[in-house]
Amino acid sequence: MTLALLHRLSEQAHEIGASFGAAPQEWEAVRTAFSAAMMSGDGVRSFTYILLLMMIGAGLEWFYWTYSYASLRVLLNTEPSSPRQSLLFGLRRFWITGFGLLLFAVAAIGSTSAFVWPPGVHDMVVTLTLTLVMFRFIVIVADIVLSPGTPQLRLVPLPDRTAFTSMAAVALFAAVGSVAWFVPALITRIAGTPNLAQALRIGLGTLIAVALLLACLFTRRNREDVLAGRRRGLLPKFPRSLASATVITVVYALWLFGYSAAAVILGALAIVIAVQASLRSVVFYFWRDKILPEEPPHDGRESEEHHDSVQQDLAPSIILPAVRLFVALIGIGVCALAVDVPLTALATSESPLARFSFRLLGVAALALLANVAWITVRTTIDYRLSTIDKVDEHEQPGPGARLLTLLPILRTTAATVITVMLVLSGLWTLGLEITPLLAGAGVVGLAFGFGAQSLVQDVITGIFYLAEDTFRVGEYIESGTSTKGTVERLTLRTVALRHHNGPLHFVPYGTLGTVRNTSRDWVIEKFNLPLPIEVDSEKVRKLIKRVGEEMLNDAELGPLIQQPLKGKLYRVEPGIKIFRCNFRTAPGNQFTVRAAAYKRIEVAMNAAGITYAGNLPLTRTLDPAGP
């Protein structure tokens, strides 16, 4: 088999050599025929028609430019406010200049039909115009991307000089490439000299290949950079120039020896791989103003807080996989064109390979959707989590505490759901029967469901508890089953309550029932003061009020009090007046404030000469609703 291959290659090489040998004579023949044809009435007429075409085409384009140049000039002189806006400007430039080119092409090529051409000249004129249009198109695109004259609109991070040289290089490539694309076929059609066409094709192709190799040579990383990287201990980087040079050489060899389909496929594959490898940096380049710079690590903080720049903008994470899929599709399309497989008939094609590859495309699209959904969910949750402050045990827990619990659960759930759906949809798209799978899952789910009723009840009840913000980590609750304690931990199924004596109660949500949350918002503390019946009620009331104001203005007690201490006459019994005092504080502070209140009231009463009631009333017991 190798021998047959070698034989074939040498045959091909001979053929090429032969065509190169025969080309000069053919060229001479063509040249003399062409000169003879030109130096005649027909030649003059053709030349005149060509001039007319150029006038019409260029004239129409110039006329268009008198209207649109002003807007282009504004674009070129405006500073874009973000990299995405420079991309938008680039698109607008493309639209404006491209439309001019379109007008030129349509006008020039369209008017060729208005003239009567000598034989073969029409074809030649149309082909040469198409060559010019292709060249101009490539140059327009390169001008927009490289933007040598307007650095602020440049879409790639290149210094000015490199932009200029790259532009010149691209223009040269475009010229040679356009000629190589159109002219050999033209020669074959009108001059009937296949050897000349072949020689031209191969010559230009070789020129392009050599130029590309030279470009690889000039853009490789130089020795000093490589050595410097090694010295710093970095791993050697992927040798891009070498790989590109290899690929170019192989593609050229394949093309030269007639395996042009293989050459196209290999080239497309190489380009797709190169693009995919750099696509992330390209897409994020356009969002570089939105990505926060990494903060230097604070002492003691873990570094995973800034392992990845926090992305405030979701768009690039979604656009990236979409563009990846798009690039992959284009690559597949090019390969399909190269092997002449009709893309539209892929789905119903005879060949199982074609059908399978079509289905793979479907799976790729599903994977893209799942990726997009997952990235959306994960980025939003991560962002939300990172903006919540950590729980401080000494302060009242805020609403962020329950988010800290809920969001990771949500993330895990979303991941599971998306994965399962992706797997099932993928299997279905690939043509595998998943009905038995689903049926089996259904039966198993039913069995699980019956058996895990209370588990499910716990989980769902727990979700509702958390969603309703019934209690948070750090609050003191009592559940209906007389279990009480401070909430220490919330899990999917249970809540851990720490009794103030030490034991830890694990209470499933389903059995939590009614929850008495004594740590929420505020607490009103009331206590009674029994005073002798002779006291002046108003004086006592004012005394208590003064004590309350003093406590409110106190530096330590003041912040704890929400509503100051007040007292009023509550009950009169024989020999006793009972004053009931109350104040309002945040939960947990009432004990401190009450002790302080008692102390201060006693001091104040002593100063005012009031004493507590000495004897209990003779016939009454204390009010059962007393303190």
| Site residues for other proteins per CB under 8 A | 38-41, 43-45, 47-49, 51-52, 55-56, 59, 63, 66, 69-70, 73-74, 76-79, 151-152
- Provide, rounded to whole angstroms, the least separation between the CB of residue 153 and other proteins: 10
- Which of 319, 221, 325, 194 has the alpha carbon at shortest distance from 272? 325
- Provide, rounded to whole angstroms, the least separation between the CB of residue 80 and other proteins: 10
- Provide, rounded to whole angstroms, the least separation between the CB of residue 63 and other proteins: 7
Strands of 341-405 (E only): list them: none
Which C-beta is closer to other proteins: that of 150 or that of 461?
150
- Provide, rounded to whole angstroms, the least separation between the CB of residue 288 and other proteins: 15
Which C-beta is closer to other proteins: that of 160 or that of 468?
160
- Provide, rounded to whole angstroms, the least separation between the CB of residue 46 and other proteins: 10
Burial state string for 78-97 with b = 16 or more CB within 10 A and e = fewer than 16: eeeeebbebbebbeebbebb
Which residues, in sequence order, are CB contacts of 464 under 8 Å at separation 6+? none
Angle at the Cα of 349 (from 347 to 350), degrees rounded to 5? 145
The rounded radius of gyration (Å) of the Cα atoms in the chain is: 42
Which C-beta is closer to other proteins: that of 52 or that of 207?
52
Q: Which helix (H) or strand (E) holds 487?
A: strand 483-490
- Provide, rounded to whole angstroms, the least separation between the CB of residue 145 and other proteins: 18
- Amino acid at residue number 520: R
Angle at the Cα of 26 (from 22 to 32), degrees rounded to 5? 155
Q: Are 402 and 466 in contact (CB under 8 A)?
A: yes
- Provide, rounded to whole angstroms, the least separation between the CB of residue 59 and other proteins: 5
CA distance 547 to 566: 8
Strand partners, 508: 494
Which C-beta is closer to other proteins: that of 77 or that of 219?
77
Which residues, in sequence order, are CB contacts of 302 under 8 Å at separation 6+? none
The answer to whether the Cα torsion of 414, 415, 418, 421 is positive or negative is: negative
Which C-beta is closer to other proteins: that of 166 or that of 519?
166
- Provide, rounded to whole angstroms, the least separation between the CB of residue 169 and other proteins: 21
CA distance 435 to 367: 21
SS3 category, 534: coil
Which C-beta is closer to other proteins: that of 41 or that of 296?
41
Structure token digits, residue 103: 């007008």
The number of residues making up the chain comes to: 627
- Which of 139, 198, 189, 197 has the alpha carbon at shortest distance from 169? 139
Which C-beta is closer to other proteins: that of 61 or that of 475?
61
CA distance 40 to 285: 59
- Provide, rounded to whole angstroms, the least separation between the CB of residue 187 and other proteins: 22
Which C-beta is closer to other proteins: that of 154 or that of 402?
154
- Provide, rounded to whole angstroms, the least separation between the CB of residue 48 and other proteins: 5
Helix and strand numbers (H, E) in the chain are 16, 8
Residue 187, φ and ψ in degrees, nearest 5: -60, -45
Which C-beta is closer to other proteins: that of 116 or that of 555?
116
Q: Are 212 and 250 in contact (CB under 8 A)?
A: no
Which C-beta is closer to other proteins: that of 72 or that of 613?
72
